[in-house]
Amino acid sequence: MTAEAYTRSRQAIATVVFMISAAACDDGYLRGHVETTSDGKTYLAIEDDNGGKCDPILVDSKIWPYKIGEAGLINPGPHKIECGGWLTFEIPQGVIFHFDYWGP
């Protein structure tokens, strides 16, 4: 095996390992990730302010009173978030939904 072939082989293996580990971390939520709460209540933590493109952040047409990264109580179900554009997403019951993706 040549040095070039060996390098390509290592790069291919690294790519496959990365793709598998990235897929393993996906919990199925496009706009963020969830973690189960110990009290059974539902929370939203907005982890990203869309690159600072807005002030204030609105959730369901109301100003979100919590700081970036701070979790606040919210009802489970569908929600609309606005910050230089708007998106809809759903929060399951009994979790902290960490909203961190404004992309398409």
Q: How many angstroms separate the Cα of 77 from the Cα of each of 18, 60, 66, 93?
A: 33, 11, 19, 8
Pairing, β 95-99 against β 86-91: unpaired
Tokens read off for 98: 């960490």
Asked if the structure places residue 4 within a domain, the reply is no
pTM (predicted TM-score) = 0.70
User: In this model, does residue 102 exceed pLDDT 90?
Assistant: no
pLDDT score for 31: 76
Q: Is the pLDDT of residue 3 over 70?
A: no
Give the strand pairing for 77-82 and 62-63. Answer: unpaired
Quick: pLDDT tens for 20-59: 333 444 556 667 899 999 999 999 999 988 888 788 999 9
Q: Please report whether residue 82 resides in a domain.
A: yes
Residue 92 lies in a domain: yes
Q: In what order do the strands lie in the sheet with 32-36?
A: 32-36, 95-99, 43-46, 71-73
* 20 belongs to a structural domain: no
Per-residue pLDDT at 81:
93
Element at 88 (helix H, strand E): strand 86-91
- Expressed as residue numbers, the domain containing 42 is 30-99
Residue at token pair 């390992």: 17
Please report whether residue 93 resides in a domain.
yes
Residue 104 lies in a domain: no
What is the structure's pLDDT at 4? Answer: 65
Q: How many domains does the chain have?
A: 1
Residue 45 lies in a domain: yes
